[in-house]
Structure 1
Amino acid sequence: METLRKIIHIDMDAFYASVEQRDNPSLKGKPVAVGGSALRGVVAAASYEARAFGVRSAMPSSLAKRKCPELIFIKPRFEVYQKVSKHVRTIFHEYTDLVEPLSLDEAYLDVTENKKGLKSAINMAMQIRQRIKSELNLTASAGVSFNKFLAKTASDLNKPDGLAVILPGEEEKVLDQLAIEKFYGVGRVTAEKMRKLGIYRGRDLKMWPKSDLTHMFGKAGNYYFNIARGVDNRLVTPNRVRKSIGIENTFFDDLLTMEEVKNKLEQLSSKLWERLQKAGAHGKTLTLKIKYHDFEQITRSKTQLNNFQDQREIMEIANELLIEFGEEDFKIRLLGLSISNLNKEIEQKDYQLSIWEE
């Protein structure tokens, strides 16, 4: 009989915002948004005080300000967040080497066999949370279960600063009542589509045959069929592979002319080439991303027979892709360049995209 795994999912609470409130006591108890400004940009993280007003990460700053007029915008300090994240992971590795980071602020731990020789994953999760609180003065929420999906689901049940457990045999009771938008892997657009089909909770999703789900949602239908039943056979994998290297920039003022856009692309292509060289990587596919003032987002890609050899080559293809967008109604708020189809597997060290602003 196969041994059930013991999986912990740790999620730092409002990570960026909590670090800022910790380091600046005057921000405690106040609605804080990291990233963006009152006029432009995108919210990278929001404190729980801001979330009470409906402010969320990835929300346009202007909308966040309308929802919460008292919102305080803080410039991100990614070097600080990375240092804190490294400390947290050091704590994780005292318990197990099977640590799979999802971002700077969350990770899976497989503690079935652990360095402490402890039998209870619940006790380990409690210890880890206490260590984070005592050593870093920050809080984390934890979920404990027998697979990754259920552990992540559990970590969301008692946030912030909470611990939840889904034991074998309890998954049906929990998932049947869970709102469909709370299922990991079901995004906003998919949740809206599901609600139109009468799928509001896990019990509704479970009623759908696999064939119907794959017809409506493609390959993801298999995933939805399984998670409705709490089935997830994925292993905790310590080394995540980076499939692309990229950079993007959100601008304080819209770019209005082709000359402005090309100048910014020149800067981005230079930084992208530096990142490729630092990673010791080459790639064949270049993707140009443009987001307009109304937040419409379009991407264009081109794949070469050979790897890009220098910045000049990247810039030439970027200009070719730019032509495909046309020259009408520029008003561009974001530009991004990325290289994929890489020649080597790269361990992903920077787990969270930086949000740049000029």
Structure 2
Amino acid sequence: MEQRPPDRKIIHVDMDAFYASVEQMDNPELKGKAIAVGGGEKRGVVSAASYEARKFGVRSAMSGYLAKKKCPELVFVKPRFDRYKELSKKIRKIFFDYTDLVEPLSLDEAYLDVTENKKGIPSATLIAKEIRQRIKDEIGLNASAGISINKFIAKVASDFNKPNGQKTVPPEEVTQFLEALDIRKFYGVGKVTAEKMYQLGIFTGKDLKEKPVEFLSSHFGKSGSFYYHVVRGIHNSPVKPHRIPKSVGAERTFFENLSSEVFMFEKLERIADELEKRLKKSKISGKTITLKIKYSDFEQQTRSKTLPYFIADKHLILDTVKELLYQEKPHNSVRLLGISVSNLNTEKKKDISEKPLSIQLQFDF
């Protein structure tokens, strides 16, 4: 049986309802109100919801129409990404006071490896508490945190005492914690996968642990091996300070549904302009072009093509997008279009001989 790798001290910090909380902080009139950051109730999509709105079932990625239906008192606020980026940089600056091993996942969450930290604080729990207090005092926002031996468990733990709380899963409690965990709380298990696991009699981590790797792989493909290992506390992924993007994309939701491919292609030209700017700014190119189509009934479709060479030029991108668009006639009117480029020139082959840290460390969690 594969042994669990040496433990590390990993913190996952997750800002509480970040976009919505920023809007409530900057505009006192919004405090205590149910708000949604997004494009409005007619055609927009909710980017973030305050905790007051979440009580009514409003969630990110929900249509503005449905959100308003669930919460008639909902206030829509236009997103201000420059402001969110500004505060995110300030938050990360706090992280770097403790460690250089910071891996941002988005503007509002990050992993920190504090196995060895700049402050010489032996307890990762105390570091997380101090970081959360500094974010509150210096920026004015609440954050939650999960603390454990690897990224997977820290990520799961950060959801346990939200908002404005933290949970530590020390080495000696990892097995008990994972076995008792509802399968829906496993990071990487979505709604569809959870339903499939239920049908297979898997409801908790303990149930998952009883299934052999062959069984899980046959039912869940490559993810089966991932589930087999993480439920045993095995997750070797290190905190990567410089995360390399796997894809670059741009998309747009429209105020009126599009029913003609001619109109769709006009919109795709503008999207390609934005995508080209992002690619050239980052000095990135890619081989795989993906067209994303979301229909008026919210069904989503993607079509991809991989080229034998790297591209970043909008005209070359559009040549492929046009081919993908006319490959199959849209079966309904379209509310969103997007283009992404993947299989990037930044990707490197993993060194399979790379070994995890071989020194067993002693911890005060």
TM-score, length-normalised on structure 1?
Answer: 0.92
Q: Which runs of 4+ in 1 moved over 6 A?
A: none
Deviation of 1:327 after TM superposition, in Å, equals 5.3
Q: How far apart, CA to CA, are the structure 1 residues paired with 2:28 and 2:174?
A: 40
Match of 1:334 among 333, 336, 339: 336
TM-score (normalised: structure 2): 0.90
Question: 1:151 is paired with a residue of what secondary structure?
Answer: helix
Aligned to 1:90: 93
Structure 1 runs not aligned, ≥5 long: 347-358
Deviations 1:73-109 (A, max 9, x none): 1111111111111100000000000011111111111
Q: Which amino acid aligns with 1:156?
A: D
Distance 1:327 1:30, change over 3 A: closer
CA-CA distance at 1:328 after TM superposition: 4.8
Measured in 1, the distance between the counterparts of 2:209 and 2:165 equals 28
Q: Give the equivalent residue in structure 2 for 1:6.
A: 9
In the alignment, the residues of structure 1 paired with residue 275 and residue 197 of structure 2 have an alpha-carbon distance, to the nearest angstrom, of 38
Change (3 A) 1:328 1:183: closer
> Which residue of 169, 184, 187 maps to 2:187?
184
How does 1:185-200 map onto structure 2 within 5 Å? 185-200=188-203
Structure 2: distance between partners of 1:287 and 1:267: 16
Distance 1:147 1:277 in 2: 35
1:235 matched to 2:273? The reply is no
Offset, 1:325: 2.5
Q: Give the aligned partner of residue 116 of structure 1.
A: 119
CA distance in 2: counterparts of 1:290 and 1:141, whole angstroms = 35
CA displacement at 1:171 relative to structure 2: 1.7
Number of residue equivalences: 345
Superposed displacement of residue 112, structure 1: 0.8
Residue 131 of structure 2 aligns with which residue? Answer: 128
> Structure 2 CA distance, aligned partners of 1:80 and 1:89?
14
Question: 1:277-325: CA deviations, max 9, x gaps?
Answer: 2122222221111110011111111222233363222222211111013
Q: For the residues of structure 1 that align with 2:230 and 2:10, how far apart are their CA atoms?
A: 16
* CA distance in 1 between partners of 2:240 and 2:117 (Å): 15
Aligned AA for 1:337?
I
Selected match of 1:213 from 212, 216, 220? 216
Question: Is structure 2 residue 284 aligned with structure 1 residue 272?
Answer: no
In 2, distance between residues paired with 1:86 and 1:309? 28
Q: Does 1:100 align with 2:103?
A: yes
- Name the counterpart of 2:252: 249
Aligned partner letter, 1:100 = E
Identity %: 58
Residue of structure 1 in register with 2:262 after alignment: 259
Greater mean deviation of Cα atoms: 48-57 or 60-69: 60-69
Matched, 1:56 2:53: no
Contact 2:7 2:149 (8 Å CA) reproduced: yes
Moved more, 306-315 or 73-82: 306-315
One-letter amino acid matched to 2:340: S
Give the counterpart letter for 2:150 in structure 1: N
Instruction: State the Cα deviation string for residues 157-208 of structure 1 (Å, max 9, x = none).
Output: 1100001111112122222222211111111111111122222222221221
State the partner residue of 1:17.
Answer: 20
Residues 119 and 309 from structure 1, CA distance in 2 versus in 1: closer, same or farther, beyond 3 angstroms? closer
* 2-structure distance, mates of 1:343, 1:168: 39
Cross-structure match for 2:327: 324
Tell me: CA distance 1:303–1:76, structure 2 relative to 1, closer, same or farther (3 Å): same
Counterpart selection for 1:45 from 45, 48, 53: 48
- Once residues 313 and 209 of structure 2 are traced to their aligned partners in structure 1, the CA distance between those partners, rounded to angstroms, is 51
SS at match of 1:44: strand
Q: Amino acid of the residue matched to residue 258 of structure 2? A: L
Q: Measure the CA separation in 2 of the matches of 1:214 and 1:82.
A: 40
Deviation at 1:3, TM superposition (A): 5.5
C-alpha change, 1:97 and 1:66, in structure 2 (3 Å) is: same
1:92 counterpart letter in structure 2 = F
CA contact (8 A) 2:5 2:236 kept: no
Aligned equivalent of 1:201: 204
Indicate conservation of the 8 Å contact 2:284/2:312, yes or no.
Answer: no
Once the two structures are superposed, the pairs formed by residues 339-350 of structure 1 within 5 Å of their partners are: 339-345=341-347
Secondary structure in structure 2 of the residue aligned to 1:303:
strand
Does the C-alpha gap of structure 1 residues 313 and 19 become closer, same or farther in structure 2, counting only changes over 3 Å? same
Query: 1:153 aligns to what SS in structure 2?
Result: helix
- Tell me what 1:150 maps to: 153
